[in-house]
Amino acid sequence: MLAHTAALAPSLTVQGLSKSFGERRAVRDVSFDVARGELLAVIGPNGAGKTTLLSMLAGILEPDTGTVAQPDRTTARIGWVPQQTAVYGKLTVAQNLRLFAKLEKVADVDATVRRMLEQTGLEQRADDELGKLSGGNRQRVNIAVGLLADPPVLLLDEPSGALDPRQRERLWGFITALTDRGTAVIFCTHDIAEAERHAHRVLVLADGEALFNGTAAELKAVADADEGHDLEQAFVGFLRERGH
């Protein structure tokens, strides 16, 4: 695992991001950094603003105020794996990757598709229809699409929601391999145990506000968890104390 020291240049710097939909303030003045190779979990109740935040980071939703900066701007934009993905069930794995590589306008489509098949460990499934793959393998293809342009930062919106425990473990093995290579990954989840197990840091959002940014252990300490309480219980208590 890469060391996460303050000396490490951030891959992404988010400052004062806000977004309203009419009267609804979905994201309020959120700021944070993500370092190279860091895995950040965004946790918060339904409607907290997690998807809105990620959509702004991905550049598909314009913020009302604030900035998203990539200080090390050597590479392309940020990779985005939405909850509702756009892959085609009737096409094969390779055909999907080829289609999205063309849409992404990558320089060498064939080489990129080969690289993605290798990176996702899906070489043997290249000619299988996507709709016939397991949920875990389909999610790998979704992530491969997000990684086509070799982005320094990858955003995942509830990546493991529909997966069984074994498929989840495989997915996390895959995501950890990405962060070990230096990709920064930001993911939203409702699975607090998963955030605790895999993320280096957690950002707690509630009603659009960032209430906490630190390690799971620090969150437990801040939440003043009772002896024997797990992070989920500490998290619920933390939100309740702050009126959410």
Ligand X SMILES: Nc1ncnc2c1ncn2[C@@H]1O[C@H](COP(=O)(O)OP(=O)(O)OP(=O)(O)O)[C@@H](O)[C@H]1O
Tokens at residue 10, please?
């951030």
Closest to Mg ion by CB, 51 or 119:
51
Tokens at residue 159, please?
């990546």
Q: Is 160 one of the binding residues for Mg ion (CB under 5 A)?
A: no
| x/- letters, 143..162, toward ligand X (CB under 6 A) | --------------------
Closest to Mg ion by CB, 49 or 79:
49
CA gyration radius, the chain? 18
Sheet with 79-81: strands ordered across: 79-81, 153-157, 184-189, 39-43, 201-206, 209-214
Half-sphere exposure of 34 (CA within 13 A, CB side): 30
Smallest gap, in angstroms, from Cβ of residue 32 to ligand X?
16
Smallest gap, in angstroms, from Cβ of residue 21 to Mg ion?
14
Sheet with 10-21: strands ordered across: 24-35, 10-21, 65-69
The residue from 1, 9, 16, 21 that contacts ligand X (CB under 6 A) is 21
Q: 């907290």: which residue's tokens?
A: 48
Closest to ligand X by CB, 135 or 161:
161
Q: Is 124 one of the binding residues for ligand X (CB under 6 A)?
A: no
Residue 69 CA to residue 77 CA, distance in Å, equals 10
From Mg ion, ligand X, none, interface partner of 5 (C-beta below 5 to 8 A by class): none
Span interacting with Mg ion, options 5-13, 50-58, 125-133, 137-145, rule CB under 5 A: 50-58
**First-to-final CA distance of the chain:** 35
Size of the site for ligand X (CB under 6 A): 11
From Mg ion, ligand X, none, interface partner of 47 (C-beta below 5 to 8 A by class): ligand X
Of 8, 5, 14, nearest to 70 (Cα)? 14
Rounded to an integer, what is the distance from CA 240 to the centroid of its chain?
A: 26
Q: What residues contact 132, with CB distance under 8 A and at least 6 apart?
A: none
- How distant, in Å, are the alpha carbons of 50, 105, 118, 125, 233 from that of 43? 7, 33, 31, 33, 13
Instruction: For the segment 51-90, give every residue that binds ligand X (CB under 6 A).
Output: 51-52
Span interacting with Mg ion, options 35-43, 46-54, 178-186, 232-240, rule CB under 5 A: 46-54
Q: Is 51 one of the binding residues for Mg ion (CB under 5 A)?
A: yes
Span interacting with Mg ion, options 9-17, 51-59, 195-203, 204-212, rule CB under 5 A: 51-59
Smallest gap, in angstroms, from Cβ of residue 169 to ligand X?
23
N residues, the chain: 244
Instruction: For the segment 34-53, give every residue that binds ligand X (CB under 6 A).
Output: 44, 46-52
Interacting residue ranges for ligand X, rule: CB under 6 A: 21, 24, 26, 44, 46-52
Interacting residue ranges for Mg ion, rule: CB under 5 A: 50-51
